[in-house]
């Protein structure tokens, strides 16, 4: 196991004070802090290597191209792909999902076809498919979650929620299912989806394609796309110590080859004439225009950092903190989602009785604690809890048990503030 206290020295922002108190950063499901190794890699790129990639034969351009393509190779290996051309750089996971929707969905989803999502999807993996289904006359099927916030795999009655029938995965799948798009880990509840069981059921009952939102899983779990049995995986760099503005779409090469470009412009072309154009090969046919070179280099550095820790150790640390937090918060707040830490990533979602989540977050900020409050881009699942907003504390590699203790102590202070009113 890595030394957390030693590791914290790599994160300059953790030396800050907020409102006169040491910063306790527990908003990692929204975005993570950056180690100096990532910051220095970005600065080095701009100070010593900055040039446009793929288009120049001068030294700086060749250096920049080499750095970008080396980052692509690192990321491919990090998620278990043997082919770096399966790695498409995008701005974030939301753009990656939209790329699949516009490039594959527009061509392959038609009237009467069905797309399956779960109740606990991030808006980017829900609204995107809502819009496609409305445009194409397709049907959006929604898989329910049980009282523990876990995917309902089979059995049970269908129910109405927000005017839509929600059901088990088994009930949602059928001959018309063309796509199943699900999260690997809920950003609202922290629930770890049983991907192996989901993929097996989908492959047994349908010929549908499978897209997995790995935004909350890739940063904390060892990922091996070759063994997952899915068709696309999306994730964002900023949730795994990397910079903002850079994300990844991984797809099976044979599927990516068949998909038309999503955006048009420079670098994605092979040949251009006034009357026609031909597209570049993978992965560049999906990367139109000048890319975020510094972001790519920064994400490569983030991958190096995580690999130096070991992803199994990252997950072990996450699980230990979640188990500790779930035990410490008992009786002090209403916690949503599964109580089994083995089925939960580093997200603790809660409310204090009679106190709005925003008020909880604001008072905690006065003690230097950064959590998130609201619907967390997951309005349907939050409202299914009977709430309009919830508080969320989320941990990562640099968080400690002492910080969990501090959070729990200050929840008592939050209650005192509102008891006086």
Strands 347-351 and 369-370: what pairing? unpaired
Q: Is the peptide bond before 283 cis (omega within 30 degrees of 0)?
A: yes
Nearest to 374 by CA among 389, 359, 355, 387: 389
CA dist 32 and 28 (Å) reads: 5
Q: What are phi and psi of 358, to 5 degrees?
A: -65, -40
**Catalytic annotation, pick one of 377, 385, 408, 417:** 377
21 and 413 in contact (C-beta within 8 Å)?
A: no
Torsion angle of C-alpha atoms 204, 206, 210, 213, degrees rounded to 10 = -80
355 and 373 in contact (C-beta within 8 Å)?
A: no
User: Residue 182, CB half-sphere, CA atoms under 13 Å: how many?
Assistant: 32
251 and 103 in contact (C-beta within 8 Å)?
A: no
Q: Is 133 a catalytic residue?
A: no
Strands 139-143 and 114-118: what pairing? parallel
Return the active site residues: 377
């Amino acid at each position: 196991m890595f030394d957390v206290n030693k590791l914290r020295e790599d994160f300059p922002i953790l030396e800050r004070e907020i409102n006169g108190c040491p910063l306790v950063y527990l908003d990692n499901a929204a975005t993570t802090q950056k180690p100096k190794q990532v910051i220095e890699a970005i600065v080095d790129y701009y100070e010593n290597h900055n040039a446009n990639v793929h288009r120049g034969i001068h030294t700086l351009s060749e250096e920049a191209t080499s750095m970008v393509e080396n980052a692509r190779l690192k990321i491919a290996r990090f998620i278990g792909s043997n082919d770096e051309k399966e790695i498409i750089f995008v701005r974030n996971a939301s753009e990656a999902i939209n790329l699949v929707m516009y490039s594959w969905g527009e061509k392959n989803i038609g009237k009467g076809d069905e797309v399956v999502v779960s109740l606990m999807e991030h808006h980017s993996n829900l609204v995107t498919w809502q819009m496609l289904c409305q445009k194409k006359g397709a049907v959006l099927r929604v898989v329910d979650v049980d009282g523990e916030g876990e995917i309902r795999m089979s059995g049970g009655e269908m129910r109405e929620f927000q005017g839509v029938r929600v059901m088990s995965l088994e009930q949602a799948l059928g001959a018309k299912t063309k796509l199943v798009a699900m999260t690997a880990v809920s950003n609202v509840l922290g629930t770890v989806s049983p991907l192996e069981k989901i993929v097996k059921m989908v492959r047994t009952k349908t010929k549908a394609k499978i897209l997995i939102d790995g935004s909350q899983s890739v940063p904390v779990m060892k990922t091996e796309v070759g063994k997952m049995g899915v068709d696309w995986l999306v994730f964002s760099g900023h949730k795994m110590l990397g910079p903002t503005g850079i994300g990844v779409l991984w797809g099976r090469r044979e599927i990516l080859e068949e998909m038309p470009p999503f955006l048009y412009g420079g670098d994605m072309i092979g040949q251009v004439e006034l009357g026609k154009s031909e597209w570049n090969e993978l992965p560049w046919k999906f990367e139109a225009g000048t890319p975020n070179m510094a972001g790519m280099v920064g994400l490569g550095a983030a991958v190096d950092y995580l690999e130096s820790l070991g992803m199994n150790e990252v997950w072990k640390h996450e699980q230990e903190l979640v188990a500790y937090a779930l035990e410490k918060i008992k009786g002090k707040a209403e916690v949503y989602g599964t109580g089994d830490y083995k089925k939960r990533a580093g997200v603790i979602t809660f409310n204090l009785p009679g106190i709005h989540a925003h008020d909880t977050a604001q008072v905690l900020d006065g003690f230097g604690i950064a959590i998130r409050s609201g619907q967390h881009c997951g309005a349907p699942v939050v409202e299914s809890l009977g709430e309009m907003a919830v508080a969320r504390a989320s941990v990562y590699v640099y968080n400690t048990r002492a910080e969990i203790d501090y959070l729990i102590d200050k929840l008592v202070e939050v209650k005192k503030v509102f008891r006086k009113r």
